[in-house]
Homo-oligomer: A and B are copies of this chain.
Amino acid sequence: MSNIEARATLVNQKLKFEGKAADHPSIIIDYIPPLGDGEGYMPLQLLLISLASCSGSTVVTLLRKMGKEVSGLEVTASGERRDEHPLGFKTISLDFNVQSSDIDETCIQRAIQLSEQTYCPVWAMLKNNVVINTTYSIK
């Protein structure tokens, strides 16, 4: 799939949008008061979910390619915003919490490094514009 399309449609008189792609259930988007009514995801939260799931997918895929068993993975993305416009993220902290019986520090470090350098598309599109720091834990 080389082309991907999505749409956001304004649905009230403030800043509430309905987001949609393919045949997936709509995502409600809104801003916190006073700009919006806080009734949906903020666009920056969606960006963090996009990055967390994209990097999580590449990390789990790489670990499996190393022959490792991954029984669980939780990726937390935490962004610190700039003080001036544009109010995007200065830094994002990505924490990979992996559950596995046979993964050691070298494996997870290598999987995170390859995701950052080569395989995670969302990470690549933010690179140089946002500082992305990583941490991990193995359970």
Contact = CB atoms under 8 A, between A and B. Distances in A.
Interface in A41-80: 41-54, 56-57, 60-61, 70, 72-80
B43 A122 contact: yes
A7 interface: yes
Contacts of A102: none
A83 B121 CA distance: 12
A45 B78 contact: no
A10 B60 contact: yes
Interface string A109-122: 00000000011111
Interface residues of A, number: 73
Given A4-B48, A27-B46, 17 more contacts: A3-B80, A3-B81, A4-B79, A5-B48, A6-B45, A10-B56, A10-B70, A10-B74, A15-B61, A19-B53, A21-B48, A43-B51, A43-B53, A43-B54, A50-B50, A127-B129, A129-B129
Interface of A: 1-10, 15, 17, 19-22, 24, 27-29, 31-32, 35, 40-54, 56-57, 60-61, 70, 72-83, 85-89, 118-130
